Structure 1
């Protein structure tokens, strides 16, 4: 999802500065708290687990945003849930890239994730970071409620992954 013109930004250092500026401006402690609260509330109704990772500047060792998202998925141990129902929403601010990685226990079709990404990309392009991200979290949580139903009556859903967004 990288937009054209990224190479000159990379070489000039503009991408580095832009990524950090975007993270400071749009991902305030209040926004991060709101996201965590939304995730915490939603996960009570299903066995899915959502993590949000926001990376100001993606590392040079991995140029492909999807491969970087897979790397972050592994490093944050999103795969390490009892029902293999972890989902990572990954934003690379400097690359203007969004990825969703779902573990094998989430049988949602790719079109659902593509739709979430397209809507969030549009919102971010219009500077609507906080509300756009909260809406993306809500859409992912709706998919998880559909494809990762709650445990049977009497068994409580565990919260196996942190709800707070991770800033990389």
Structure 2
């Protein structure tokens, strides 16, 4: 654990400040609209920082995202096609994790491209648009493998952003 990382986590902005209600609502609406286009399930989770014990054990943002994927039961969908978009604010990290039904269907580079576009967009003057665009990109990737005709009647994952921590 570096001193820099420790300080970033100790003094990270709150999720509520970084994601006001209007932003959370925009994310919810973008996920709901996207899921009308495909048979996949998208979940968005954001965490301000990691607890001290996680930092001590050098938990990476990817490992934190994997833990969130399991804790939020992102894998619990009819077609095993859940996608988690995870942000760890203190590390400025964006991770996308997918369930086994998507393994091998979408190249890791395509998911990484979504992360890159989102990271660049969040640095710009229109972060809400960047979030909507990222969710739209994920929906476009899902459309090619799980068309709307494959949609389940049940919405397996909540559309509302999950605030962790």
What TM-score results when the alignment is normalised by the length of structure 1? 0.85
Instruction: Compute the displacement of 1:71 (Å).
Output: 0.8
- Corresponding residue of 2:4: 9
Contact persistence 1:151–1:157 (CA under 8 A): no
- Corresponding residue of 1:132: 130
- Corresponding residue of 1:110: 108
Instruction: Compute the displacement of 1:19 (Å).
Output: 3.3
Contact persistence 2:34–2:135 (CA under 8 A): no
**Mapping 1:79-158, distance limit 5 Å:** 79-106=75-102, 107-126=105-124, 128-151=126-149, 157-158=153-154
Instruction: Compute the displacement of 1:165 (Å).
Output: 0.4
Unmatched tracts of structure 1, length 5 or more: 1-5
CA shift in 2, pair 1:14/1:105, >3 Å: closer
CA shift in 2, pair 1:123/1:139, >3 Å: same
Take 1:18 and 1:144, find their aligned partners in 2: how far apart are those partners?
33
Partner of 2:135: helix, strand, or coil?
helix
Instruction: Compute the displacement of 1:117 (Å).
Output: 0.6
Instruction: Compute the displacement of 1:126 (Å).
Output: 3.2
**RMSD over aligned Cα, in angstroms?**
2.0
- Corresponding residue of 2:65: 69
**Counterpart selection for 1:51 from 43, 52, 65:** 43
Take 2:38 and 2:11, find their aligned partners in 1: how far apart are those partners?
39
Instruction: Compute the displacement of 1:137 (Å).
Output: 0.8
Instruction: Compute the displacement of 1:156 (Å).
Output: 5.4
Any runs of at least 4 consecutive aligned residues in structure 1 with deviations exceeding 4 A, and if so which? none
- Count of paired positions: 158
What TM-score results when the alignment is normalised by the length of structure 2? 0.86
